[in-house]
Chain A
Amino acid sequence: MTERQIKFSEALREAQADMLEADPNVLLLGLGVPGPTGIFGTTSGLQERFGTHRVIDTPSSENAMTGVALGAAARGKRPIMVHMRVDFALLAIEPIVNQAAKWHYMYGGVMRAPLVIRMIVGRGWGQGPQHSQSLQSWFAHVPGLKVVMPARPLDAKGMIVSAVKDDAPVIVFEHRWLYNLSGPVPEVPVGRPLEGAEVLRPGRDVTIAATSYMVIEALRAAETLAGIGIEAEVIDLRCLTPIDAGTLKASLARTGRLVVADTAQEAFGVAAEVVSVACQHAFQHLKAPPEVVALPHVPTPTTPALADLFYPDARDIAAAALKATGAEKELPPAPEQGRKWKDTPDPSFTGPY
């Protein structure tokens, strides 16, 4: 039997629908959640199906609404909050970091905050400095939060299912450029673990550990590398809290070489954390310094002329992997782009978001 293929965005919608169906305490809220475009289709039709009491539009009051969700969670509800951009969730840092993250610990284990907060990482078409930040490391840095970054539709669905069932606050980082990608997803609501990385492609020469959309670029890089006889092992890191040292160590024991690709700035970020974990747990296996492919320490520029330079892609990953292997080889010439800018996930996109 061929497995059913659906888009990442459909997987998100299906997971929320399944959880709203399974548990009357599940709530879904956010500005535009019931609207005609339904958070890029991920919440479309859910208010019609589950009612205006459980699926609600909110004022643009990110700070207070997060506290509101927390209070409802403290009284048995299981809210899912949606932010159209990570950048908007910054107005809710206080209730997330000071409150939700701490309530279980700070109240001696008697309080729980089963919140799911979906944050979308924007990219492309001039999203610019305030609509494209990828701040996963901020949240992963805070004890008491679970932070996950699904890269495949399977995880998009399964992680939302698990997050809703989890008694901790879970932050789900969803990269906008994953939304239209399809993959196999079971029809039933099967949870996927909120911890642990996964090897998506085995290889013996170099390990590429990536987050979120960079997993897609890493798989493309592995294809290119295979063409010149380099077998890259691609790890989807999936979950940040914690970075899965075991999977990383086992892979490095095979390859001895590491490239980390993240959607955020390198400095103080997930990439730096992965390198740290690799050095602490697999130092004896490393045959070359780890390579990092991430954003420069610069805000996102709006003009495509600079944004195209700002975002690394599969080619940068392949080049880094080649460097890590030390092989005396060259990458094949870059295929003809056929388009002027790289600021859309695919050429059919005609903006704006």
Chain B
Amino acid sequence: MTQLDDKARANILRAMVRIRVAEERISELYREQEMRCPTHLAIGQEAVPAGVSAALEPQDLVFSGHRSHGHYIAKGGDMGAMFAELYGRATGCAAGKGGSQHLIDLACGFMGAAPILSSTISVGVGAAWAAQLDGRREVSAIYFGDGATEEGAFHESLNFAAVLKLPVVFVCENNLYSVHSAMDCRQPDRPVSALGPAHGMPGVTVDGNDPDAVYAAAAEAAARARDGEGPSLIECMTYRWMEHCGPNDDIALGYRTAAELAEWKARDPIPPYAARIGADLDALMSEALAEADAAVAFAKSSPFPEPSELTRHVLPA
């Protein structure tokens, strides 16, 4: 198994901190009501994209769903363009037309996010098929939640990817809930990872709050994919701290307990990792805050799209 060196670990920590700080900035600034789009924060889930991206090469591709900010940032997505997109500005990564739910940055291989559950899973498989056809050693990493695995397209995609042995890493972020619905009313008592072998590919469940564990599974899966041995499914157990959609805490709703949230907050992926590698967390936090503030300033000073943009891009010119 691939070992992480100190530099790689420092990068993983930095990615987690950048995601955390950016998401916290969104949470604070959302209250100004200038980011006028549905926004799904990933605070608490940072270790997954940090670990996965550490196992990916720059040419590899990433596909995502509604909770995509962390996936975008970890793959190297432009932070200013992300904030500008949330602020609905012309300089946004989707020219303001998509908002938080439709991030994209082709320069870093972030191929797009879409909030219709399971919609980008098959699309990611198609991109892997194109890579196979063209003989590119390029991997598609596809993120989705536990809820998305209930859609038919998830199963159909795994099936097809396994038939053609496509270079795909399926990454399920299992945060125990689909909006306010717990797992037990939606799925039988078996790990999501068991669906991998059911579809003819390896499936593992890892601690999604331990970036080293995520990295190890992703590195193995990416190597398999690159070597032509086919897709893998990784289930990362993690937890969303904030409400499903929006900037607030949601314990008052009562669908989960304060004790459960506290338990998961005690398993915050960031401080223990900083301690493990002996990093200066405060310094990293202020560096990330400066980056996020610059991104916000860029977004807020950017113009809104011109009215003529309304009808542009419906069809390619």
Q: Do A and B bind each other?
A: yes
Measuring CB to CB, which residues of chain A are less than 8 angstroms from any residue of chain B? 31-32, 35-37, 56-64, 87-88, 90-91, 125-131, 296-299, 301-306, 309-310, 341, 343, 350-353
A60 contacts which of B97, B117, B246 (Cβ < 8 Å)?
B117
Of the listed residues B100, B179, B253, B309, the one surrounded by the most CB atoms of chain A closer than 10 A to its CB is B179
Q: In the assembled complex, which residues on chain A have CB atoms less than 8 Å from the CB atom of B185?
A: 56-57
User: Do A305 and B305 touch (CB < 8 A)?
Assistant: yes
Report B170-194 CB contacts with A as 1/0, cut-off 8 Å.
0000000011110001110000000
User: Do A59 and B38 touch (CB < 8 A)?
Assistant: no
B245 contacts which of A341, A343, A352 (Cβ < 8 Å)?
A352
User: Do B186 and A57 touch (CB < 8 A)?
Assistant: yes
B115 nearest CB across to chain A (Å)? 6
A351-B96 contact in complex given A35-B179, A61-B151, C-beta closer than 8 Å: no
User: Do B186 and A306 touch (CB < 8 A)?
Assistant: no
Q: In the assembled complex, which residues on chain B have CB atoms less than 8 Å from the CB atom of A37?
A: 180, 253
Contact sample, A vs B, 24 pairs, CB 8 Å cutoff: A32-B179, A59-B178, A60-B118, A87-B116, A91-B153, A128-B102, A131-B115, A301-B310, A302-B94, A302-B96, A303-B92, A303-B96, A303-B97, A303-B99, A305-B96, A305-B305, A306-B96, A306-B97, A306-B307, A309-B307, A309-B310, A351-B246, A353-B38, A353-B245
Chain A's interface: helix, strand, loop or mixed, by majority? loop
User: Do A128 and B99 touch (CB < 8 A)?
Assistant: yes
CB-CB nearest in chain B for A32: B179
User: Do B115 and A303 touch (CB < 8 A)?
Assistant: no
User: Do B38 and A125 touch (CB < 8 A)?
Assistant: yes
A296-B310 contact in complex given A301-B97, A302-B88, A304-B88, C-beta closer than 8 Å: yes
Chain B's interface: helix, strand, loop or mixed, by majority? loop
Beyond A62-B151, A91-B116, A303-B88, 18 additional pairs, beta carbon < 8 A: A37-B180, A59-B150, A60-B118, A60-B178, A61-B151, A88-B116, A125-B36, A125-B38, A126-B36, A128-B99, A301-B97, A302-B37, A303-B89, A303-B304, A305-B304, A351-B36, A351-B246, A352-B37
User: Do B152 and A306 touch (CB < 8 A)?
Assistant: no
User: Do A60 and B148 touch (CB < 8 A)?
Assistant: yes
B70 nearest CB across to chain A (Å)? 18
CB-CB nearest in chain A for B97: A301
Q: In the assembled complex, which residues on chain A have CB atoms less than 8 Å from the CB atom of B36?
A: 125-126, 303-304, 341, 343, 351
A15 nearest CB across to chain B (Å)? 23
CB-CB nearest in chain B for A353: B38
Q: In the assembled complex, which residues on chain A have CB atoms less than 8 Å from the CB atom of B117?
A: 60, 88
Q: How far is the CA of A331 from the CA of B113 in the complex (A)?
A: 44
B166 nearest CB across to chain A (Å)? 23
User: Do B310 and A130 touch (CB < 8 A)?
Assistant: no
A87 nearest CB across to chain B (Å)? 7
Q: How far is the CA of A218 from the CA of B181 in the complex (A)?
A: 39
A318 nearest CB across to chain B (Å)? 21
User: Do A306 and B305 touch (CB < 8 A)?
Assistant: yes
A302-B305 contact in complex given A91-B151, A126-B88, A350-B33, C-beta closer than 8 Å: no
Instruction: Enumerate B290-317 residues with CB–CB distance to A below 8 Å.
Output: 304-305, 307, 309-311, 314
Q: In the assembled complex, which residues on chain A have CB atoms less than 8 Å from the CB atom of B99?
A: 126, 128, 302-303
CB-CB nearest in chain B for A310: B310
B200 nearest CB across to chain A (Å)? 22
User: Do B310 and A306 touch (CB < 8 A)?
Assistant: yes
A108 nearest CB across to chain B (Å)? 30
Q: In the assembled complex, which residues on chain A have CB atoms less than 8 Å from the CB atom of B278?
A: none
User: Do A59 and B187 touch (CB < 8 A)?
Assistant: yes
A298-B116 contact in complex given A57-B185, A305-B304, A351-B33, C-beta closer than 8 Å: no
Q: In the assembled complex, which residues on chain A have CB atoms less than 8 Å from the CB atom of B209?
A: none
A319 nearest CB across to chain B (Å)? 17
Q: In the assembled complex, which residues on chain B have CB atoms less than 8 Å from the CB atom of A32?
A: 179-181
Does residue B201 face the partner (Cβ distance < 8 Å to A)?
no
Does residue B76 face the partner (Cβ distance < 8 Å to A)?
no
Instruction: Enumerate B133-182 residues with CB–CB distance to A below 8 Å.
Output: 147-148, 150-153, 178-181
- A-B pairs with lowest CB-CB distance, top 5: A126-B37, A303-B88, A302-B99, A305-B304, A59-B150
User: Do A61 and B152 touch (CB < 8 A)?
Assistant: yes
User: Do B311 and A302 touch (CB < 8 A)?
Assistant: no
Q: In the assembled complex, which residues on chain B have CB atoms less than 8 Å from the CB atom of A91?
A: 116, 151-153
Q: In the assembled complex, which residues on chain A have CB atoms less than 8 Å from the CB atom of B187?
A: 59
B257 nearest CB across to chain A (Å)? 13
Of the listed residues A36, A60, A303, the one surrounded by the most CB atoms of chain B closer than 10 A to its CB is A303
Q: In the assembled complex, which residues on chain A have CB atoms less than 8 Å from the CB atom of B94?
A: 302
A64-B97 contact in complex given A32-B180, A301-B310, A350-B33, C-beta closer than 8 Å: no
A63 contacts which of B147, B152, B245, B253 (Cβ < 8 Å)?
B152
Q: How far is the CA of A210 from the CA of B130 in the complex (A)?
A: 47
User: Do A298 and B311 touch (CB < 8 A)?
Assistant: yes
